Structure 1
Amino acid sequence: MTKSLDRTELGLLLALPILIGLAFILPKWIVNYMQVSMGTGLVALGVMIQMRAGLVSFGQGLYFCIGGYAAGMAAKFWGITDLFLLLILGLVGAVLVSSILGILMRRYREIFYAMLSLALSMILFGLLSSTEELGSTDGFNLPTPTYLGWAPEGRAALLSLYIITSCLVIACALALHRFLQSPVGYVNEAIRENELRVEYLGTSAHRLVQITYMLAASVSAIGGVLWALALGHVDPEMTNWTTSGQFVFVAILSGIGNIAAPLIGTFILEIVRVYAVEISPNTWQMILGTVMLLTILFLPKGLWSLVSKMGNKQKSTDGDAAQSVGG
């Protein structure tokens, strides 16, 4: 029997035509930021599903970079420009690397997990920065993608990539939501609360952590491919600690209460960054830091907690009204 759609899934499905329609209404620069934020939003989703298991990855840029560079190298050295084939290559690269590193990562928790993930991402950063064939610290450009032999130009090329990005992001969000609602997703929360009890129940916490790690790597690589194609460029900064820190920033800023939260939080971060740079070009990081500090102080569960409070308040109001009518 097919599982019915819940409110989150319905909301995501309704968001897709809205996202596509906005591309024809909003200014080009806003649409561009929306497209870029959807790519990085997938990486933030990867961070979020690990946080559900009590794991904080400060090196998620590793797979963000693997996805982008896999697509870039395939285009640069093999002349592959088909978006779907580039996505497959980026995904395969992330799965292979995460399946190996996951054997190591699944043994660690808390600060050790965070620091080890950071160390692995910085190893890749060092390798790419010293590889002249890949542009060293400057990176290299990517060509305009094609779609199963179709090669649009001008505005059609921009709209095509935006629409496909929107569809892929919503599809990934739906899949991750189903994952969090699955037995594995619920056991991840149990691992966060008391891993020893999970082991006593006969479930391998190490195996489930590796599954979550690989899933987060896969969705992050997809985000890396989409981000790289949107900007037409890749460079080692994709796996630098500052980039990985940004994804953690988004997860904390938006909260982990709903799968849509990191996607919305990523766009908010992009807009805050734009205006912060405009207001204070030399100290814009202070503005982002202030936003982060205020969020932690007044919304410790993230911006999504505002939506949750509004929903709970509405339910309470409806319940009181029903009780009054019944009385």
Structure 2
Amino acid sequence: MTDRRLELLLALLGAAALIAASATTPWLKFVLTLALAKGIAVLGIMLLLRAGQVSFGHAMYVALGAYAVAFLAPALPDAALLLPAAALATTVAGALIGLFVSRYREIFFGMLNLALSMVFYSVLEKFYQLTRGTDGIRVQPLTVAGLALDRGSYEWTIFGIALALALGFGVLARIYLASPMGQALAAIKTRETRLDFMGVSPRSVLLAAYVLSALMAGCAGALIAMSTRHVTPQLAYWTSSGELVFIAILGGAGGVLGPFLGAVTYELVRVYAAATVADMWQMILGTVLLLVILFARGGIWGLISGRLQRRRMA
């Protein structure tokens, strides 16, 4: 079985497991919806990691997608319209900001994204008349394709949309990374000047990946807003960006399944740790990440794929 087919099989098995878990434990549906949304955002960060660039401010696009839903909901109270609207807003923002930040590399790239994210956070916090400051904006009940659903049906629908988007973006990322543009991302990480000699603009390659990552983060933010129905500036804070990077390291950037494995693990560990030892859940998460760094540098996906490869060779 080829690696592509194996990844697809594991993705489908994972999707079935998430559906089964949500059906048997209803409260997990909300947690797993958030995990899928964050996994989509981290999938975009993974594209940048392929180029050796880390964005410490990508939560800005998550927040932008969430606030797009909050602002547009009174006029467009339908999830089927709000999701593409949020995606469009973040794509445009990613293209404009990407034209600037794609000129920089490594720590400068990461810090510029962090600085822009904190500026956006300050705007959301200070312009109270527009954004309601730290109180946030309550998202009104939404319809789905014109249908008014009860709470249970609505939660299942948002979960289904999140799962479909996760599978769709996973396939898109897999195709993109196998394309010439995706292959060029690795060249930015190793020897960028070779791209110039070949007549390929490294800046354009990084910009394309950056815009795609902004689109994914915006969809993630829209899903979070439609699921929690409450958005606050905290979505754009630096700790939220750090959480996405944490998930990327935890899951592993070696494959498209890594971000989702990391996101589901992160959310489940956080929920159960907070329920068990409320004052120490951060320490437990930190310990989990430390163990991954020390004993599984490729993240959870690296650990799984390594075992599968050894089994195939045996």
TM-score of the pair, normalised by structure 2:
0.94
5 Å-filtered alignment, 1:127-166, equals: 127-132=123-128, 133-166=130-163
Is 1:11 the counterpart of 2:7 in the alignment? no
Q: Quick check: which has more Rg, 1 or 2?
A: 1
| Partner AA of 1:263 in structure 2 | F
CA distance in 2, matches of 1:164, 1:296: 32
5 Å-filtered alignment, 1:1-327, equals: 6-24=5-23, 26-76=24-74, 78=75, 80-132=76-128, 133-317=130-314
Per-residue deviation, 1:139: 0.5
Per-residue deviation, 1:29: 1.7
> Do the aligned residues in 2 keep the contact of 1:12 with 1:174 (CA within 8 Å)?
no
| Partner AA of 1:72 in structure 2 | A
> Do the aligned residues in 1 keep the contact of 2:58 with 2:217 (CA within 8 Å)?
yes
Per-residue deviation, 1:11: 3.4
- Residues 50-79 of structure 1 deviation map (CA, whole Å, 9 limit, x = unaligned): 101111010010100111000110014x2x
Q: Percent identity?
A: 33
SS in 2 for 1:97: helix
Structure 1: 5+ residue runs without aligned partners?
318-327
> Do the aligned residues in 2 keep the contact of 1:20 with 1:166 (CA within 8 Å)?
no
Distance 1:249 1:87, change over 3 A: same
> Do the aligned residues in 2 keep the contact of 1:64 with 1:239 (CA within 8 Å)?
yes
Structure 2: 5+ residue runs without aligned partners?
none
Which region of structure 1 is more displaced relative to structure 2, 91-100 or 120-129?
A: 91-100
> Do the aligned residues in 2 keep the contact of 1:16 with 1:167 (CA within 8 Å)?
no
| Partner AA of 2:31 in structure 1 | Y
| Partner AA of 1:193 in structure 2 | T
Which region of structure 1 is more displaced relative to structure 2, 275-284 or 202-211?
A: 275-284
The CA RMSD measured in Å over matched residues stands at 1.6
> Do the aligned residues in 2 keep the contact of 1:82 with 1:149 (CA within 8 Å)?
yes
Per-residue deviation, 1:154: 2.8
CA distance in 1, matches of 2:8, 2:281: 36
TM-score of the pair, normalised by structure 1:
0.91
How many equivalent pairs are there?
A: 311
SS in 1 for 2:245: helix
Per-residue deviation, 1:14: 4.9
CA distance in 1, matches of 2:197, 2:92: 31
- Residues 126-167 of structure 1 deviation map (CA, whole Å, 9 limit, x = unaligned): 000012132101201112321221111131222122112211
CA distance in 2, matches of 1:174, 1:158: 24
SS in 2 for 1:28: coil
| Partner AA of 2:170 in structure 1 | A
